[in-house]
Structure 1
Amino acid sequence: MNLRCVECEAMFPPRLIYQCPACGGILETVGQDDVAPFSFGEGGTPLLRASRIEAELPGFSGEIWLKDETRNPSGSFKDRLIAAALGRAIAMGVRGVVCASSGNAGASTAAYAARAGVPAIIVVPAHTPPGKVTQIAAHGAILLLVEGHYSRSYDLARALAGEHGFANLTTTFINPYAVAGVTAVGHEIFAQLGGQAPSHVLIPTGSGPLVKGVWQGLREAGASARLVAVQAEGCAPIVRAFEAGAEHVTAWGMPQTIASGISDPLIGYERDGSYTLRLVRESGGCAVAVSDDALREAMQTLARREGIYAEPTAASPIAALRQLLADGRLPADARIVCLITGHGFKDARAYQEMPTRTHRVDDPRDTAAVARLCEAAIAERV
């Protein structure tokens, strides 16, 4: 296995480098890796038919499938990246690992590092949802809270890795071994659909490694699909460039969205967004932004129609469905895979702020009254 720059195509032997020494471009792995991931049971997540969501989409005659990445050990798809990156770091004898995160990658790094007995430093924005901070802290990692947007955490992690010899497991495009870990998602989708490709894959997108993983995994399986990068309206640098017809992505300002997992303004590493934009266009796909209100509605749809408890970021593909069907960017007979990337326990606060069907029972002995209450609630739900 070697490393190759996606821009100038220069080749390098495998080592811990985070950008092309020749041009500063993004590195990717090529060839068979002889270093095994530090596996904790990640991957092989189910692909579930969303028949009830299908039935509620007017005029839709296709298929909707949910790739449920909430089933990974720490509750998100980030486990795939961290397993691959940590396996490489251990093989290279690093003294510890550092990861900048909006929450999920940090939780994954903390859990996997704890199991491996490797010191871990996790750097997150101070406003990271409490559920994610609690999960990171539970595993005993050194947790650094940084005021401001995610890119400030990114810069600190990069500096710590460079100055103290820790492996940088940040799950943007900075670690090529991590990104290689998500190509299995594309392979799994193809196999789970019986050796057939979906027409479209909707992917929650910050900097975009999961877009790359699906794109490359499908290509390696001899297939392709139109990739849809889904971002939040409050942080949508890739969507802005796509809609403007631009070749390069420019950084966003301060994100304003409940979707913490994709609130990445790309400040200082805009190349990541430009590369993702290139892959989306090569696939014939598009980029779309969704509102926080649409995210909340999508979370409820997943939970109440399909039984999947998803954080706001993970619900973003569902939020995009109606919008894309309405404006003709998804055909009525499409076979769509939506990547549900993170568990709802990551950000329970978003659910706690929603209306619930909760009723106080004053006298549990009055079963007739309780039955009437329940019947009325069921009728209202229908």
Structure 2
Amino acid sequence: MRVKVACVGGGPAGLYLSILLKLRDPSHDVTVHERNPEGSTYGWGVTYWRGFLDRLRAHDPETARAIEANSVGWSEGIARVGELTARQPGDEGRGIGRHRLLEILADRARSLGVRLEFAHEITPGGLPDADLVVAGDGVHSALRDRHAAHFGTRIVPGRNRYLWLGTDASFDAFTFAFAETDHGWIWFYGYGFAPGAGTCVVECAPETWRGLGLDTAGEEDGQALLEKIFADVLDGHRLVGRPSAGAGAQWLTFRTLTNRTWHRGNLVLLGDAAHTTHYSVGAGTTLALEDAIALAAALHEEPALPRALARYEHERKQALLSVQSAARHSARWYEDLPRYIHLPPEQMFALLGQRHSPLLPHVPPRLYHRLDRAVGRLDTLRRLKRRLGPMVARTLQARASRP
């Protein structure tokens, strides 16, 4: 059945949804409305992991190939605490420029017959005439806020301050850098997204932010101070801020957003309009595209719109439970940084990797590390036993059958 769909918001979620809808049925009438001009976006790079690329390949190999070809990868993590450094192997991660990602998705959508209307703002009182209106207009969604009581929108602000910056530093691994100042600890997470291009999120407690004068510093002065603090890690490279309307840098407090329900009539929430997860788990773009995959499948497979939207909401809420829990505990780990920062670097880095655990805040860090290592050794023994068991059995059987 041919349907008319209006996606409000030209971010990754709305664009990828439009691609999947057209791939399933070219007769669908799909338009993406984006209030900003084409080519304008915020931020620098986004992350994803190898397993997610496999999922993209299953739904649209052409888009997956383009994303992979324009990404850089890493398989290690580095933690620098002052002058001490620990490096450990990790999952295979990828980074791609946000601007390039949007170009890839927009080009693919156009090639399939999706209409893209840039510099075209949709207001809550002037929704497009469509069978389905998709609110993919981000965490500050005007379409959602118009009916916030119905959606049951809840926003929980975090404690720490953070700033998203670009840099011309090339990170060969996902890099964590922790620096001690007279006003407390400040740190960043850095990764590459293109040759010679990287991005980092700087974070600190509000007391440190004020003590360093970052709350009142102009953008250039603030970046110069951060370059000095992280000089060893940046190795002479510069930090770059995003354009802002005011004189100061855009320090923010992360807001965790949830909604009791994700749809109202023919209006449905997608991506950050429906949910947010703390940036320290690096899952925002992945989750938004997974929303698009689930919504496209539900619309194609369910005979009626209400059933399709109910299925989409149920599936995605269930899938998000573990990620949202991990994100909450990850954010808390950084808010409780003094609890872990004075451990030996190897132990601190190990617990950094375990920051998603709900048990970690309630167990003394050194004890947790010892228990985690013991469990790891047991798991290794179990895996070795599973591998050796059939081999030993075959050897004994062969010996028993000898004359």
Q: TM-score range by the shorter chain?
A: under 0.3
Higher fraction of strand: 2
Larger radius of gyration: 2
TM-score normalised over the length of structure 1: 0.28
